Chains A and B, each alone.
Chain A
Amino acid sequence: MAASMSVNADTFTSSNPFHICNICQKVIRKKENGVRVLRPVSSGPSAFIPEEEIVELSQVGPHTEQLLAEAYTPSGQLDNLTQVMGLHPHYLQSFLRSQFYLLRMDGPLPLHYRHYIAIMAAARHQCSFLVSLHVREFYRMGVCLDWLKGLQYAPQRLRNLNEINKILAHRPWLITKEHIQNLVKTGENCWALAELVHAVVLLAHFHSLASFVFGSGINPQVDTQNTSGFQSVHISNYCTCDLASDHHERDSSFSGTSPMTSDYVSELEALMERMKRLQEEREEDEASQEEMATRFENEKKESLLVSSGDFEDEVTPTSKVSRFVEDATFGYQDFARHGDDNPPTFRAHDYSWEDHGFSLVNRLYSDIGLLLDDKFRTACDLTYYSMASHEDVDTTMLRRALFNYVHCMYGIRYDDYDYGEVNQLLERSLKVYIKTVTCYPEKTTRRMYDSYWRQFHHSEKVHVNLLLMEARMQAELLYALRAITRFMT
């Protein structure tokens, strides 16, 4: 085992052991021009969140602890992702349960396939955290290790999955029943429907998890206990910024007690005021139907404008990740583009998770529906009835706005939702953040994270990330499952 690991570790190391991602290359260029570069503030699990904010996990109840026990990495450490998510133990519980079921329990796919699919999915977003995590898991399986040399070493069957992998990751609305047909049609490398559903759930899970990882600035796993050659080589593969910390000069006013703080307070007050007003307005002001439709279109269109123009140049993925990516140029494109023939809007009432998605997924891959249902529900219903310093607030509206805004960007429309609310509740900087985290999470920066909701707690921002992650996962699943349903009928 040790021998094989070291062999593969070699093949896995890029030619340049100290790889620097091109964000940092840019920074370095700036640095040479005399710009001060800051190291990540936090050495804890997250680059965005100070270590002390992340609750000691010993505080959680014994039940969760049991669950966490299963989440421990082989080295016996709780990984950073779990630690950050541990800010919301209630959610963490259902998250871990479904992830455990997906990766370890009985299912149509063999175990090493599952991890490989996870790697493929995470690699689409260049999420080295998840990729290396699952590369490690894959090693532990001890089979088919040469797949790790890259996607072209994997069997054709898995490589066929790449097509829907990239579509789901970047433009899920493009998936059609033909894609499903190509995978399922009889032949040497065909997929059974049950296997395909398993794979689709895995893909959606890890795409959205990548969003969370970048959105919360999860730091790479530094294993202090393990000093084996493999691990250390492995770690040196990361750029120190991990694509997450900001390369810009940090806003100095953020930490200090500057006069601007009062502005932030009023910002919060204003948001609460708007929520209250909306709540009351609803009874009297009824927008006309056409008005509602245009509001959705507006919101969809506007999501185009919030794209962050910061990164014009393509991020070249680090080589250790890129070996799992084929057709790397396939990236996100806006759902609603000016002038183009837009794909038809997805009507949530024609294909909803509760009615249709659940039934299909549960039919083909038993029990996963229940677990996902539980996870979605937990994520959507999670509330502490507080906003920043304010207690006893009904945040339903805000949560729904976040969830529906993500779906809106993916072209999923709810007839019974007034998209005007999104505009009122979500400020521009937040929209930029949402768009980045859901659509191209690899471009998330610390500045984006810091720039919205400055008064809010970190745990609340993690909560936002949870919602974004679940909304994205559901959107991807809806598109994929709808395609499968159409294939089946």
Chain B
Amino acid sequence: MRELSSWKFCEQHLTQKQAPLCVILCRGPTFSPGSCYDHVGLWRLGSNKQSIMHLRQREVNIFFSHFIEDYWVVGREERCRYFGAMEKMSRVTTALGSSSISGRTMFCHLDAPANAISVCRDATQVVVAGRNIFKIYSLEEEQFVEKLNLRVGRKPSLNFSCADVMWHQMEENLLATAATNGAVVTWNLGKPSRNKQDQLFTEHKRTVNKVCFHPTEIYMLLSGSQDGYMKCFDLRKKESVSTFSGQSESVRDVQFSMKDYFTFAASFENGNVQLWDIRRPDRYERMFTAHTGPVFCCDWHPDDRGWLATGGRDKMVKVWDMTTNRAKEIYCVQTIASVARVKWRPERRWHLATCSMMVDHNIYVWDVRRPFIPFATFEEHKDVTTGIVWRNQHDPYFLLSGSKDSTLYQHMFKDASRPVDRANPEGLCFGLFGDLAFAAKESLISGDANRKPYPGGDRRYPIFFFKKPDPTEQFANVSSALSVFESPVESKHMDWLVTTARLYLLSGKPFAELCDHNAKVAKELNRPQVSTTWTMLRIMFSDPANPSTPGPNHIGKLGTLPLMNSFSMKEMGAGLGVEGRLDRSKGESRQDNLHLEPGTSLINSNNDENEETEGSDGQAEYMFGDAELDDDDLYSMEHDNHGAEYQEYTLPQEAFPLRHEIIDNPSAPEHLQQDKADSPHASGNEADIMCLTPIESFSLISISQPLFSPHLPAQFFCPVVREMLIHYAEQGDVQMAVSVLIVLGERIRKEIDDLTQEHWYMSYIDLLQRLELWNVSNEVIKLSTCSAISCLNQTSTTLHINCSNCKRPMSTKGWICDRCHQCASVCAVCHHVVKGLFVWCQGCSHGGHLEHVMNWLKSSSHCPAGCGHLCEYT
């Protein structure tokens, strides 16, 4: 018991008058790191090294569960209290075994891709095995040094083609490999000859995927193979001592339990995990389905007896508690690629390392309690990582890995990248009913006094207290605050879109009427700009030869608009731009509202008022320039930065006197004056256009009519319309863009590239479908000219019908059954076969020709078949 004497421990005291006690784990007569702890003894320091008590099994468990995480532990049982730090103990003991580990992140090139790696007991050497490589490297301070090449012979046989390798943790000269040809080979490094091959077992018929030594027994080796069998070998004998049949294809991993001498776990290609007792080869102890698809790997928790981690092709790592009757999934980590290997991190109860089989080359260390973001990542490899192993069983800071890119790495934990540092700790999500949830770092929101603490957010700390929280070993404290903003019930956020979608006419009428109709729709919804756009479109693209004949009331409403024609296109663009800016500023201030919760209700109510005022303005013809001024006024009170825009909107007032001056001048024709006067101002300030009073516009219209005769060709407008559409789409009003696109059809289609069109269509259709406006979305699809869109309607168009008599699928025709030769669908009214649309009552399932049933139900409320059911046609 020499270790005992040299072991220093922290002098936390137990009970009053007892001398300090020391706890040590031992097995058998000697104590060594890495051995199995069967006993835990308590020794009194300074006494004659006699154990004063032995802990029973259960108590040992408690001991372990408390020591893993660097905690000082105050046990629960009154009888004995445990002291000491596991880590310290292991450090000291390792120091006794070898020099203490130090090193840096380093790598070396291998000649060939590695399939698996394993370290020897004292963590000084590592073996790398692959199809074309089988070498031992020693781990020096600064580099890897090749020690031995085990792949000897002129033409090495397939026995050297290794799928897996394991170094015995008790006997440092003993290695085992699993060969792809089904052989299990052991190697004795103590052999004097060049070929170190010791034993060869060729009992498996297929590739052996995994070999595993018993953690404490020197001669016991377990293998798992593609043929579905696991075999246990006694290395003193020539053949296997027992064979376990998984009753399934392909064993992917076998692992002896660290704590239970007789137990091992096996994982299978079909997703099952089995637990076996090594003494009972006839059947497994228990089995459960862990994953969908193959379970590539499993690993027992080094300290916690009941915990088994499994990783599968379904990209999940699951931690199972095996102590209960049914294996219980206690943690689940979702990775981004299928999990090839999983290894618990020593000394860190919640940490495990994984690497993936495909695509993803990184090694991740996860804290199973925080399954959404890796605790640490090693990103050195250029191809998939095939083997990972912690260098020492008691040291959590060194990780070794081998990869298909033919490199062997030693990763230092301090050099790992921490994804959490780069993660965006803010989250934003819309709820079903327009609510908005927003999570951010607590510090960001802490100023907010009104915030209610989110229930359940409080973290409960374990009963023990931290020793000294090592910042590198903890997740950054990311307690965040969650705020939920409820959208006011009366908010009509999407209403206009729905109504517009329903009311817009996209086809079926002359172009001018469509435009007028849509303009009217937009106007009624208080969207003057959209409305104006429609009217402008009508004017631009209507054929001047046969002008549309809007009713007299149209002139009244749209009277100002012909004027638009006389403005240069540039001005219109500018006008749209400012409008857009206005919209945007609205958007911004809305967003801001979200941050300023206390102000939200105020602003909302203001908004509502706004809408009301806008509404009333709408009735007073085109006074919305003022209305928007109001808007802006309002916002600028809240936000100073809108002052600049506010300035812009004061301009219209200057425009009025100017215009009146010109009207005073009698020498020039009035309309020309008007143009001259307007143009320079309008270029800087579109509000002018909008501010014309109805009276003025009436007079203007009558005069400006002759100007129309030299009508500009429609193509002339295309660029500006194109810009306008793009503008709308960028503003988020894809509805407008698509509607105009459809209504204008060939007039504009060539101007806009197909991809953009397709993109708009897709967005609008998606929007409509989310709002369950199926009819509208279908109409849009139908009217679209993009082949990619119109073929959307070609999908899932098959309707399978079963015969109502024999219940078999109607194979040839929809109305007569091949098998029973009966007409399946007969109209209940006329008793003829229905070959077209068949409508039926969902209550009594009678039905017939659509028209017949419609007519029938107009006069009668009962089912035409006479079944007495009160059918309803809606």
Contact = CB atoms under 8 A, between A and B. Distances in A.
A144 interface: yes
Size bracket, chain A contacts: 35 or more
Interface stretch (B607-615, B792-800, B866-874): B792-800
B812 A76 contact: yes
A70 interface: yes
A111 B791 contact: yes
Contacts of A142: 791, 794
Interface stretch (B9-17, B95-103, B153-161, B412-420): B153-161
Contacts of A358: 293, 313, 338
Contact of A349 (B163, B269, B359): B163
A288 B180 contact: no
Given A77-B811, A349-B207, A363-B337, A415 B180 contact: yes
Contact of B812 (A112, A225, A416): A225
Interface centre among B294, B313, B788 (most CB of A within 10 A): B313
Contacts of B787: 143-144
Given A76-B812, A78-B811, A112-B791, A290 B182 contact: no
Interface in A309-338: none
Contact of B207 (A65, A104, A415): A415
A69 interface: yes
A265 interface: no
A333 to B, nearest CB: 27
B795 A363 contact: no
Nearest to B337: A359
Contacts of B205: 282, 416
B691 interface: no
Contacts of A68: 809
Given A78-B811, A356-B357, A359-B313, A141 B158 contact: no
Contacts, number: 112
A141 B357 contact: no
Interface string B807-841: 01111110000100000000000000000000000
Contacts of A356: 357-358
A288 to B, nearest CB: 7
Contact of A359 (B131, B358, B800): B358
A16 interface: no
B822 to A, nearest CB: 16
A69 B809 contact: yes
Contacts of B179: 415
B382 A489 contact: yes
Contacts of A140: 794
B202 A286 contact: yes
Interface range on chain B (Cβ under 8 Å from partner) = 35 or more
Contact of B131 (A70, A74, A350, A355): A350
B756 interface: no
A354 B795 contact: no
A292 B361 CA distance: 34
Given A76-B813, A359-B358, A416-B205, A111 B181 contact: no
A235 interface: no
B118 interface: no
Contacts of B794: 111, 140-143
Contacts of B250: 354
Main secondary structure of the interface of B (DSSP, over half): loop
Contacts of A74: 798
Interface string A358-400: 1110010000001001000000000000000000000000000
A107 to B, nearest CB: 11
Nearest to A414: B207
A373 B384 CA distance: 22
Given A69-B809, A360-B358, A485-B358, A416 B206 contact: yes
Contacts of B798: 70, 74
Given A143-B790, A416-B181, A363 B359 contact: yes
Interface in B248-297: 250, 269, 293-294, 296
B226 interface: yes
Interface in A64-99: 65, 68-70, 72, 74-78
A416 B207 contact: yes
Contact of A110 (B159, B358, B791, B818): B791
B359 A359 contact: yes
B304 interface: no
B383 interface: yes
A77 B812 CA distance: 7
B813 A293 contact: no
Contacts of B155: 290
Interface in A259-291: 282, 286, 288-290
A90 to B, nearest CB: 17
B788 A110 contact: yes
Given A359-B358, A363-B337, A293 B158 contact: yes
A488 interface: yes
Given A354-B294, A359-B359, A289 B159 contact: yes
A289 B155 CA distance: 10
Nearest to A380: B249
Interface in B376-400: 382-384
A31 interface: no
A347 interface: yes
A489 B358 CA distance: 10
B181 A289 contact: yes
A225 B269 CA distance: 48
Nearest to B405: A489
Nearest to A356: B358
Interface in B733-749: none
Interface in B22-68: none
B797 to A, nearest CB: 8
Nearest to B155: A290
Given A104-B796, A347-B131, A416 B809 contact: no
B791 A141 contact: yes
A424 B452 CA distance: 79
A261 B296 CA distance: 50
Nearest to A488: B359
Interface string A125-143: 0000000000000001111
Interface in B341-397: 357-359, 361, 382-384
Nearest to B156: A289
A112 B800 CA distance: 21
A280 to B, nearest CB: 13
A147 to B, nearest CB: 11
Contacts of B313: 354-355, 358-359
Contacts of B812: 75-77, 225
Interface string B150-175: 00000101110101000000000000
A143 B788 CA distance: 9
A356 B404 CA distance: 13
A419 to B, nearest CB: 12
Nearest to A481: B358
Contacts of B202: 286
Contacts of A76: 810-813, 818
Contacts of A360: 358-359
Interface in A140-168: 140-144
Contacts of A415: 158, 161, 179-182, 207
Looking at A68, A72, A289, A488, the one whose CB has the most chain B CB atoms below 10 A away is A289
Report which residue of B296, B338, B796 has the largest number of chain A beta carbons within 10 angstroms of its beta carbon.
Answer: B338
Contacts of B361: 489
A69 B163 CA distance: 46
B226 A111 contact: no
B104 to A, nearest CB: 27
Q: Which 7 A-B pairs have the closest CB atoms?
A: A289-B157, A76-B812, A415-B180, A359-B358, A76-B811, A69-B809, A415-B181
10 contacts: A75-B812, A77-B811, A104-B795, A110-B791, A293-B158, A349-B161, A354-B250, A415-B179, A416-B206, A485-B358
Given A111-B794, A363-B337, A416-B207, 9 more contacts: A74-B798, A75-B812, A111-B791, A142-B794, A143-B794, A289-B181, A355-B294, A359-B337, A359-B359
